[in-house]
């Protein structure tokens, strides 16, 4: 009888032990010792200015052996899959302000905490031309714009340049004036006439866009030149072939209002991925 009593006692002990949570477990939300998942973003600093079009963001979790993360760069990338990685790299970043968001949890748990980090990219130094946006993701058959900007120009009058593209993956649909010149109260001329189908056909057969553009006076206008940064040309493309390709500037000649050549810094390429 006594043996039977002890067997029942032992079985009861093991039963309740298996059903009882570890109340000193810092990873268990129902434990008194629970520590919520968290992450410290160590690079870049809050509101840091990055002088590169690429950035690597690094972080450390509060329980590295148990943490997993997912992340995104707002308006640049979608949420990643859950991962144990502690860094992420982004490239072809435009000069702009960015917000990096990261979520952290313990493996196998549902308690998710979000953290963020703001930083700024100021990588393109003028005077020069630049593409906006530098990174373009488009579906096959989709249409998209890439702008050409003058960057940090002084006494700008005109520019002549070529844009080289992969004619097997992209076709040019139109070339339009940007909003920068008119916003400064000036007129703009663009040649050749890209409203002519013959001109577009020549461009798409060669994979090279040759553009000359300059600013003109309007009635009552002051000095006929520009200082600063802004969009001067809008290129519209259609994606016709899958894969990766690039837009590249070639043969740039920029002039000031005196007709002198403006020495420019080498411009960056733009990246195009057709899905």
Across the range 191-203, mean pLDDT stands at 97
Q: For residues 114 and 144, state if they share a domain.
A: no
pLDDT tens per residue, range 71-124: 999 999 999 999 999 999 999 999 999 999 999 999 989 999 999 999 999 999
Instruction: Provide the 3-class DSSP secondary structure of residue 204.
Output: helix
Q: For residue 4, is pLDDT > 70?
A: no
Q: For residues 95 and 57, state if they share a domain.
A: yes
Distance between CA 238 and CA 173 in Å, rounded? Answer: 7
pLDDT tens per residue, range 54-65: 999 999 999 999
Q: For residue 221, is pLDDT > 60?
A: no
Distance between CA 98 and CA 26 in Å, rounded? Answer: 34
Distance between CA 157 and CA 203 in Å, rounded? Answer: 25
The answer to the question of residue 134 being in a domain is yes
Q: For residues 32 and 138, state if they share a domain.
A: no
Nearest CA among 119, 118, 120, 127 for reference residue 149: 127
Distance between CA 136 and CA 76 in Å, rounded? Answer: 10
Distance between CA 113 and CA 111 in Å, rounded? Answer: 7
The domain that contains 72 carries what CATH number? Answer: 2.60.40.10
Domain that holds residue 81: 20-121
Residues 6+ apart with CB under 8 A from 116: 99, 100, 101, 102
Distance between CA 12 and CA 30 in Å, rounded? Answer: 23
The domain that contains 213 carries what CATH number? Answer: 2.60.40.680
> What pLDDT does 23 receive?
59
For the stretch 194-199, contacts whose Cβ atoms lie closer than 8 Å and that sit 24 or more positions apart, written own/partner, are none
Q: For residues 167 and 83, state if they share a domain.
A: no
pLDDT tens per residue, range 123-169: 999 999 999 999 999 999 999 999 999 999 999 999 999 999 999 99
The answer to the question of residue 245 being in a domain is yes
Q: For residues 133 and 268, state if they share a domain.
A: yes
Q: For residues 197 and 263, state if they share a domain.
A: yes
Q: For residues 168 and 217, state if they share a domain.
A: yes
Instruction: Provide the 3-class DSSP secondary structure of residue 201.
Output: helix
Q: For residues 112 and 154, state if they share a domain.
A: no
> What pLDDT does 219 receive?
66
Across the range 210-228, mean pLDDT stands at 84
- Count of structural domains, the chain: 2
Beta strands in the chain (DSSP E): 39-43, 48-50, 55-61, 67-73, 87-90, 97-106, 113-121, 128-132, 135-138, 143-164, 170-177, 187-191, 208-216, 226-239, 243-256, 270-274
The answer to the question of residue 14 being in a domain is no
Please give the residue that has the higher pLDDT: either 17 or 213: 213
Q: For residues 269 and 160, state if they share a domain.
A: yes
Q: For residues 103 and 164, state if they share a domain.
A: no
């Amino acid at each position: 009888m006594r043996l039977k009593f002890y067997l029942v006692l032992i079985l009861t002990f093991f039963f309740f032990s298996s059903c009882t949570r570890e109340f000193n477990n810092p990873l268990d939300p129902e434990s008194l010792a629970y520590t919520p998942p968290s992450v410290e973003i160590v690079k870049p600093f809050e509101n840091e200015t990055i002088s590169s079009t690429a950035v690597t963001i690094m972080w450390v979790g509060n329980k590295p052996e148990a943490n997993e993360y997912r992340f995104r760069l707002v308006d640049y990338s979608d949420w990643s899959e859950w991962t144990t990685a502690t860094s992420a790299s982004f490239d072809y970043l435009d000069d702009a302000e960015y917000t990096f968001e990261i979520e952290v949890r313990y493996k196998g748990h549902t308690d998710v905490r979000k953290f963020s980090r703001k930083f700024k990219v100021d990588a393109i130094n003028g005077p020069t031309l630049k593409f906006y946006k530098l990174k373009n993701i488009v579906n096959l058959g989709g249409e998209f714009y890439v702008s050409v900007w003058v960057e940090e120009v002084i006494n700008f009058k005109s520019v002549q340049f070529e844009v080289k593209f992969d004619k097997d993956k992209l076709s040019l649909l139109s070339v339009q004036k940007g909003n920068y010149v008119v916003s400064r109260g000036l007129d703009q001329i663009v040649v050749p006439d890209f409203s002519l189908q013959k001109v577009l056909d020549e461009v798409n057969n060669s994979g090279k866009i040759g553009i000359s553009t300059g600013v003109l006076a309007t009635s009552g206008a002051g000095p006929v030149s520009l200082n600063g940064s802004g969009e001067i040309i809008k290129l519209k493309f259609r994606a016709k072939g899958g894969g990766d390709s690039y837009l590249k500037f070639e043969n740039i000649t920029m002039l000031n209002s005196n007709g002198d050549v403006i020495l420019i810094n080498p411009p960056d390429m733009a990246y195009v991925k057709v899905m």
